[in-house]
Structure 1
Amino acid sequence: MGLVVSAVRKDSIAASLPVVAGDTVVAANDMPIRDLIDYSFALADEHVELRVEKAGGEELVLEIDKEYDEDIGLVFDQPFPGLRRCQNRCLFCFLDQMPPGLRTSLYVNDDDYRLSFWEGNFITLTNAGPHDLERIAGQRLSPLYISVHTTNPDLRKQMLQHPRAGLIMQQLAFLKSAGIEMHTQIVLCPGINDGRELDKTITDLAGFWPRVRSIAIVPVGLTRFRQGLYPLKTLLREEASALVTKVERWQQQFLKALGDPLVHAADEVYLKAGAPVPPAELYGEYPQLENGIGLVRQHLDALKIWLGGLTEPLGATQKITVVSGTLAAPILQEALHPLRRIGLDVRVLPIRNNFFGPAVTVTGLLTGKDIASQLKGKNLGRLVVIPSVCFNDDGLTLDGLTAADLERILEKPVVTSRDPRDWIRVLKAAGSGH
């Protein structure tokens, strides 16, 4: 019980207290501290009594007066002690399809409701017992992000390979009664949870509206390392097209009945089908952007606005190369075409995913080595732009390369971009010679 302090921020309230790294915060305002959620709840007050256990066993009670919701400057190395790992053996698990030798963090598969609330991670609730659900309700841990996949109890147990997977409808009902907002996802596996099963799942989840605020349909991802596992199929172009049509019907039905489109297909589905992505109004506040729902639309709209504001030529024509996964490359090339009018010759270069296999077509799963090997020796122009989705928070690709590494390999300046605003900054700088 408690949180172990790993650092004390300089010039913070805690810097003036007798607290150092290695001490343990065990309670606040007489409430035991189990994790960062408890700690944050306790600190959302102007007066806090903090009980701290020193490394030698001595206990101190520290009285702190602060602004409401002001952080006092303690840093914890393990903010969620006892992190719950996934106990499922999902038929479609992406981690089972990964080779050894990548970053260690890529093999960590959590299924912890605390991280669902805190960071937006998707959970299955198979390891959430009655006490966990009561805590979620009592502390109003909302919203939660829940991987449902199917509401058919027997099919869900088969897909997740967990005996508690069939409890999903009861769990969702409890969360609805507690007023918890939920964002749900369905990893669509052709021949398993599509067709009538998908219709039932959508209908069941819609019954929990307005607590279920979104339903995402994401096609299963398969890599070349999928060996000795349950045989699965990728979503074919004609199946993607049929799914787009079905989602459009659901959206119109829910808009009429609920005033909310509710269900969304991943951007990947529209790109694979060769269909236009929906307009922004169908995505609302983009609640599942990190799940690939509406990311293309948001980027296209932002690009259109910013490109529309560029009227002055940036000097002599400059050629640059933009990296993309094979799926999004055509639509991105079209979106960037207007840059020609101000003197930027942009070539979007689709990178084939040789590492995971050609069935993996999204930009975020490109490795540094694939990017380097397919760009090396080509006429790349003045610089190379790589979407920041290819890098983690430490600036590393899946296989541990940095932008600086790629610069050395390609012998060209390499920049990363986070969003369309970044695109414009980078492209203008490239064109103006800065």
Structure 2
Amino acid sequence: MTPKPIHEYPGDPARPVACILEVEEGSPADDAGFTPGCLITEVNGHILRDVLDWQWYSAEDEVELSYVDTEGDSGTVVLEREEGESWGITFDGAVFDGIRTCRNACVFCFMRQLPEDARGSLVLRDDDWRLSFLQGNFVTLTNLSDEDAQTIIERNISPLRVSLHASDPDVRRKMIGKHAPHGVAMLERLLEGGVRVHAQIVLCPGINDGNELKKTLAWAYMHPGIENVGIVPLGFTKHQARFDRSYNEPEDALAVVEAVEPFQRYALAERGYPWVYLADEFYCNAYPGDVLRHLPPASHYGDFSMFEDGIGIVRSQVMEWQDCSDEIEHLARVLDEEDARVYYVLGEAQRDCMAALFDESPLKGRLVALLVRNEHFGGNVDVTGLLCGGDVARAIRGVSAHDFVVLPRIMFNADGYTLDDMTVDDIRDTAGIPVTVVSCSVPEYLKEIEELVAG
């Protein structure tokens, strides 16, 4: 598949161009007359494929830009800047030659498990190493070319986030398809070139767990460039027939915790940090009703760099909650004075975390966790971020009109839509009761709830 450029070069639609989104006032670009919508076609004679090319070729304090302006006129201009000054250009997107899509057949691919009517952006399977560096996406490296690898090494583009899954060639091929060997070869080439890697393992029952997991971790530990490994459980929906279990049963989750602990202890002693990290689900499922006592301490997670992978979120929430004792007591007084009850919508995964914290605090009975089952996706999908508007609307229909319902912002994308394309107004109209969107940050939503109730 040939990537399509985001913006077309006049007369040559296959040639990538960079479209300017914003120009900083008073910057060199502003002084030169650039405006939003102008196209940068070359930098010092080099075509730009992405923001990384721009950063590389525009690193000096004098640069020659070829452009096409918003009137269709083309030209070349030399820009100069003071040391440390920005050129003042923000581009419309990180890649200019189109996102490189996945060519694998991963057995666990979540996007292949979505309903047929899912919007296009949800089923776009990217596997672009540039987005791995720029946005933290995980990639398999199976579509990495020799030129790409050389560019990464020469420019020291690091760290990359790489999907490892298994070190055994046969197991890895079974998991992601025929291009698996190329991905491992490219990974080893990058590591030999000094590129640092954050690796991820999607753990699938009976495929890459047990002894296979231990073999994979041993292999990864022998490659110092792999700075850490994050392990996340298989997520499956009702819209597929391959999987019917993951690590939701306590004995299955506990087996993973116990298999990983020796590696963590060894790494902690030798390298000073645990090195391999488990997603929160493993602890929540291994210790139902008692997860807060068994959760690793904050020091285990360092700077919480794997937060976006679901690693350390529960510990972070607990820490925030404990740091807000004064705010919690204050809100409890406000809710008592107003005789108000607030329902905070959460996924069922929060049963032993935030729901338990609510019930053990002065807010018990006033701030209530409304746990919503995810019927839209089904399977073992139970996190708050994947809640859908239809399920939420059904769950809150029985709430009294005198009570308040708040929805966590993580349910909505930047355009204000849930994964089933509902807005806040849609949920309100379907449920027949008012709803308000609040932050996922404890200190922020405590304040927002107080303003909602008292205001």
What is the TM-score when the length of structure 1 is the normalising length? 0.91
1:15-414 counterparts in 2 under 5 A? 15-20=30-35, 23-53=38-68, 56=72, 58-66=74-82, 68=84, 70-76=86-92, 79-163=95-179, 165-209=180-224, 211-227=225-241, 230-231=242-243, 233-235=245-247, 236-274=249-287, 275=291, 276-308=294-326, 310-312=328-330, 313-314=333-334, 315-337=337-359, 339-340=361-362, 345-379=366-400, 382-410=403-431, 411-414=433-436
Separation in 1, partners of 2:72, 2:53:
24
CA positional deviation for 1:12: 5.2
**Residue identity matched to 1:243:** V
Superposed displacement of residue 429, structure 1? 2.2
Mapped to 1, the partners of 2:59 and 2:215 lie a distance apart of 42
Task: Tell me if the contact between 1:48 and 1:65 (Cα under 8 Å) persists in the aligned partners.
Answer: no
CA distance in 2 between counterparts of 1:300 and 1:405 reads 32
Structure-2 change in CA distance of 1:67 and 1:267 (3 Å): same
Alpha-carbon distance, 1:337 to partner: 3.4
Residue identity over aligned pairs, in percent, reads 32
Q: Which amino acid aligns with 1:122?
A: F
Distance 2:259 2:30 in 1: 58
The separation in 1 between residues aligned to 2:46 and 2:425, in whole angstroms, is 48
**Contact in 1 for aligned 2:214/2:259 (Cα 8 Å):** no
> 1:219 Cα shift?
0.9
How many Å separate the matches in 1 of 2:223 and 2:82? 40
* Post-superposition offset of 1:308: 4.5
Normalising by structure 2, report the TM-score. 0.87
Are the structure 2 counterparts of residues 26 and 371 from structure 1 closer, same or farther at C-alpha, using a change threshold of 3 Å? same
Do 1:4 and 1:22's aligned partners in 2 also have CA atoms closer than 8 Å? no
State the shift of 1:339 in Å.
4.8
SS in structure 2 of the partner of residue 194 of structure 1: coil
Q: Is the 8 A contact 1:43 1:69 kept in 2?
A: no
- Asked if the contact 2:62–2:78 (Cα under 8 Å) also holds between the matched residues in 1, the reply is no
SS of match in other structure, 1:240 = helix
Equivalent in the alignment of 2:12: none
Contact map agreement 2:141 2:183 (CA 8 A) in 1: yes
Cα deviation, residue 24, structure 1: 3.0
Letter in 2 for 1:212: I
Deviation of 1:177 (Å): 2.8
Query: For structure 1, which runs of at least 5 residues remain unmatched after alignment?
Result: none
How far is 1:52 from its partner? 1.9
The match for 1:3 is 17
Does 1:427 find its partner at 2:449?
A: yes
Deviation at residue 50 of structure 1 after TM alignment: 1.8
SS of structure 1 residue aligned to 2:366:
strand
What SS does structure 1 have at the residue aligned with 2:451? helix
Q: 1:416 to 1:44 in 2, by over 3 A?
A: farther
Deviation at 1:302, TM superposition (A): 1.0
What displacement does 1:153 show? 1.3
Secondary structure, aligned partner of 2:295: coil
Q: Within 2, Cα distance between the matches of 1:205 and 1:89?
A: 23
Distance 1:292 1:350 in 2: 19
CA RMSD of aligned residues (A): 2.4
